[in-house]
A and B are shown apart, each in its own frame.
Chain A
Amino acid sequence: MIVTEITEQQALFDLLAALADNKYFLGRRYAEWCNGAPTLESSVAAAAMAQDELGHARALYPLLHDFPQAQGQPTEFEPETRTQFCNVAFLDRMFTGWADFVAANFLLDTALSVIFEFAQESRFESLRGRARKVLLEEQVHALHGEGWVRRLARTGGSVRGTLEAALLHTWLETLCWFGPADDVRGKLLQQGGILAGRPEELRQRWLEHVGPVLLETELAQMLALEQDAGRWSVTTPLPWGRWDAARRRLKDAG
C-alpha cells in the first residue's frame, strides 16, 4: 500500500489548480451561451460573465508555475495545452439548456467565490491579492444566478421542472466541492492560514448564500436542504465514496 503524505504546499497547489480549472471551464460554458440565451440582455450578461471567469482563470494559472509540481512540464499548466483538468464533472460537457447555465451560475460560481471570501486575509499573498477583484466581479454573477433561479421557479410548469432537474444535477457535486469535514487538505489550508475556515465552515457559508433563495422559491425541500436555528443542513448523505479529493470532483458522475 502506497501512502502519500499530503503537505500544505500540495494542498495549496491542488486548491489553486481546481479553482483555475473550474473558472476556465465555467468561462467556456458561459461563452457557449453568448448568442443563445433567452434574451439579448442575458446573452450580453453571459458574454460579460464568460470574460470575467476566463480572466480569473488567467490570473490563477501562472501561480501554479512557482510550485515544484509544475517544474519540467510547463505545458500541463497552460489551459490550452493542459490535459489533466480538475474541474467538477458536470462542466465536462456543454450545458444542455439555459437551466444548466443558471444552475452552474447560481451554485458552482457562488461556491468558487466562497474560497475567495475565505482567502481575503490569506497568508498566501498571491491568492489574497486576487480575492478582492474576483469578489467584486462575482457580486454581479451572484445577482444574475439568483435572479434567474427566481424567474424560472416562479414561471412554474415545465420551466420550473427543467430548473429543478438542473439544480439536482449540480447540487451534490457542488456540496462536496469543499471537501469532507475531516479532509486533510482542508485542515492543512486552515492551519496554514491559507483559508480562514475548514471545509464544513466553507460549505456552511455557501449554504448561507444559496439557501435563502432556495427556501423562498420552495426548491429547498427537493434538495433535502433544511435550516434550523440559523444553521443549514442537508439531510441526504453526500457521495463521499465517489469523491476524488485531489481533483475535487466526483468520479463516474455520468
Chain B
Amino acid sequence: MSETALLKVVAETKLWEVFARRKYEEPLHQVGTIAADDPELAKVYARSIYDEFSWVEMVVAPRDAFISVIKP
C-alpha cells in the first residue's frame, strides 16, 4: 500500500467523543476524543485508548451530532 493511498484512508476519519463512568452512581463524563472511520472502529479505539479504569459504562458519540448551545 503506497503512503499516498494510506493518507487517503486516514483522511476519511471522523471525530468521536468518548464518555464513561466508573460507578453506577456517577454520571457519564467526557474522557476524551478519538478519530475513527465508522462506529465499530470507534468502539475498538475508545476501549483500547481509554482503558485506564475499569469502567462500568462507556459510550461514543459522533462529534458532528453535537448541537452547539454556547459556542467558545
Residues of A within 8 A of B (CB): 38-42, 44-45, 47-49, 97-99, 140, 143-144, 146-148, 150-152, 155, 157-159, 162
**Which of B9, B35, B41 has a CB less than 8 Å from the CB of A159?**
B9
Q: Given the complex of chains A and B, what is the CA–CA distance between A47 and B35 in angstroms?
A: 17
Given contacts A44-B49, A159-B9, contact A99 B41 (CB under 8 A): no
Which chain B positions have C-beta within 8 A of A144? 41, 44
Which residues of B approach A to under 8 Å, CB–CB?
1-2, 5-6, 8-10, 12-13, 34-38, 40-41, 43-45, 47-49, 51
- The SS class assigned to the A binding surface is helix
List 15 additional contacts besides A40-B35, A99-B1, A150-B38; criterion CB under 8 Å. A41-B41, A41-B49, A42-B41, A42-B45, A45-B45, A48-B48, A140-B47, A143-B41, A148-B41, A151-B12, A151-B37, A151-B41, A158-B2, A158-B5, A159-B1
Are A147 and B1 also in contact (CB < 8 A) when A44-B49, A152-B9, A155-B9 are?
A: no
Q: How far is the CB of B57 from chain A (nearest CB, A)?
A: 16
Which single residue of chain B is at the shortest CB-CB distance from A47?
Answer: B48
Query: Interface of chain B, helix or strand or loop or mixed?
Result: helix
Please give the distance in Å from B4's CB to the nearest CB on chain A. 9
Decide yes or no: A157 and B5 within 8 Å by CB, A143-B41, A147-B37, A148-B41 being known contacts.
Answer: yes
The 9 A-B residue pairs whose C-beta atoms are closest, nearest first, are: A48-B48, A147-B41, A41-B45, A147-B40, A162-B1, A45-B48, A144-B44, A159-B5, A143-B40
- Output the least CB separation between A75 and chain B (Å): 34
Shortest B9–chain A CB gap in Å is 5
B43 to chain A: closest residue by CB: A143
In the complex, what residues of A have CB within 8 A of residue B43's CB? 140, 143
A–B pairs, 5, beta carbons within 8 Å: A44-B45, A47-B48, A144-B41, A147-B38, A155-B9
Cβ-defined contact, B38 with A41, below 8 A: no
- Which B residues touch A38, using CB under 8 A? 6, 9-10
| Distance A155 CA – B35 CA, assembled complex (angstroms) | 17
Chain B residues with CB under 8 Å of A159's CB are: 1, 5-6, 8-9
Q: Is the CB of A98 within 8 A of B37?
A: no
Taking CB atoms, residues of chain B closer than 8 Å to A41 are 34-36, 41, 45, 48-49
Expressed in whole angstroms, the Cα–Cα distance for A45 and B43 within the complex equals 11
A190 to chain B, nearest CB (A): 33
A254 to B10, CA, bound (A): 32
* Chain B residues with CB below 8 A from A151, complex form: 9, 12, 37-38, 41
Asked whether A98 lies within 8 Å of B48 as measured between CB atoms, the reply is no
User: A152: which B residues are within 8 A, CB to CB?
Assistant: 9
Given contacts A42-B45, A140-B44, A140-B47, are A98 and B6 in contact (CB under 8 A)?
A: yes
Q: Which residue of B lies closest to A158 (CB)?
A: B5
Smallest CB-CB separation from B2: which chain A residue?
A: A158
Contacts of A40 in B (CB 8 A): 35
Q: Which residues of B contact A157 (CB under 8 A)?
A: 5
